[in-house]
A and B are shown apart, each in its own frame.
Chain A
Amino acid sequence: MAALDSAPDALLAQRAADGDEVAFAVIMRRHGPYLKAFATRLLRSNSDADDVVQEAFIQAWRRLPDLQDPAALRAWLTTMVSRKTTDRIRSRKQSDPLEDIEIPDLAGDPEDHALGSDKMRALARVLDTLPRDQRQIWLLREVAGHSYTEIAERLDMPVPTIRGRLARARAHVLDGMSEWR
């Protein structure tokens, strides 16, 4: 239905809460790519990111009837994805303690070429060189907008650690982006 494709988030969320699967498919098409990009940057894995986004959407379908502010749909979905993602990060750490050691992640980004500007490519590279924890904290704060307390709970770290690592991540990004500012 063409009209639904351009319908506002709030309306789609209400319809989906009422059981309209077509509206929910529009929501997935509209927000899926962003959530996937977010999860991919957090997890550095395409297939894990797919899984997480999928799980998050299934949970979103169940919880939509409780969504208080349907206009804030993207923020709400982002929170779902970051919960699912951090669950995965925690279970990775438990199953493989080596994951806890901060090793630089995958070098280069497969989607680099698709990014619009040199500035965005530079930022993508800078984020890629952040230690894992710092990158995750950065994304949870700057993209998902979570509080220090939420991030601390999700990543199982004390609040002062979050605060310190976020500041270090910011120093690193400011440094790496100095010629663009």
Chain B
Amino acid sequence: MAVTMNENITDGLPEDDIGGSGYTLDDLSAYLDAGRTPYDPVIEHNAECRSVLASLEQVGRWSRELLAGEAETAPVEAAGAGWMDGVLGAIAREVRSGRDIAYPGPDLRTTLSITEGAVRSLIRATGDEVPGVLVGRSRIDGPLDAPGEPVTVTVTISVRFGYALQDASDAVRTSIAETLARHTPLAIAAIDVVVDDIRDSGDEELGPLASRVADAGGDAR
């Protein structure tokens, strides 16, 4: 057994007094979990205490690595499939439809409306068509129950690294304006596009900038 190999920790487990500090493992464990605050000079100046704290942090890190490792090696199907379908089925019954937006019409007995959720879905689909862009959240501000009253749409987008932000947000604004004009009764006063994330070009795909750089490098040679 390895138990006797590491005398300062393992022999009789450091329950009582670690490195003559007067602190027990119980104390050090609580000190670590308090974020090592308030600063305790007795502990921090004791080499053995510091080594125990480092070991505690290390095994904690390992246990997170253990789970990450198990997650990585678990086949996606085994972890997913059955329960994922169950969840998707359950949430499909809880659609986030939001407010109703009525189409103006001459006939007072029938009303045609589109939900806010459906409009958001249109906004996402339209914005995602712009190269390098993924839509995050969208918000419609204004009275939706009064057809023709101007509303403001705010869309947050993520742009892939290497794409020009101004061009991307202009393209998003233009195409969302067209889509909303064509498919919804909304009277759009303004579309605010907020770039709140620039994401890496990803592992497998090269962004256009990267490929341009690669091309230029090729030409130079």
Contact = CB atoms under 8 A, between A and B. Distances in A.
A2 B209 CA distance: 19
A19 B3 contact: no
Nearest to B201: A6
Nearest to B56: A170
Contacts of B84: 25, 28-29, 32
A19 B204 CA distance: 28
Contacts of B152: none
A14 B72 contact: no
B91 A171 contact: no
Contacts of B6: 178-179, 181
Interface residues of A, number: 63
Contact of B67 (A7, A34, A53, A171): A34
Given A15-B135, A34-B71, A116-B73, A61 B66 contact: no
Contact size range, B? 35 or more
Interface string A1-44: 10110111011001101111100110011001110111001000
**Chain B, interface SS category:** helix
Interface in A52-105: 53-54, 57-58, 61-62, 65
A123 B63 contact: yes
Contact of B14 (A19, A148, A171): A171
Nearest to B52: A174
19 contacts: A1-B128, A6-B205, A11-B199, A18-B96, A18-B137, A19-B121, A29-B80, A33-B76, A53-B83, A114-B74, A143-B67, A163-B30, A167-B25, A167-B26, A167-B29, A170-B29, A173-B63, A174-B59, A179-B5
B58 A181 contact: yes
- Among B69, B72, B87, B124: residue with most chain A CB under 10 A: B87
Contacts of A124: 66
A40 to B, nearest CB: 8
Interface of A: 1, 3-4, 6-8, 10-11, 14-15, 17-21, 24-25, 28-29, 32-34, 36-38, 41, 50, 53-54, 57-58, 61-62, 65, 111, 114-116, 119-120, 123-124, 127, 138-139, 141-143, 147-148, 163-164, 166-167, 170-171, 173-175, 177-179, 181
Contacts of B56: 170, 174
Contact of B120 (A18, A123, A173): A18
A134 B97 CA distance: 45
A33 B202 contact: no
B74 A111 contact: yes
Interface in B20-70: 24-26, 29-30, 33, 52, 55-56, 58-60, 62-70
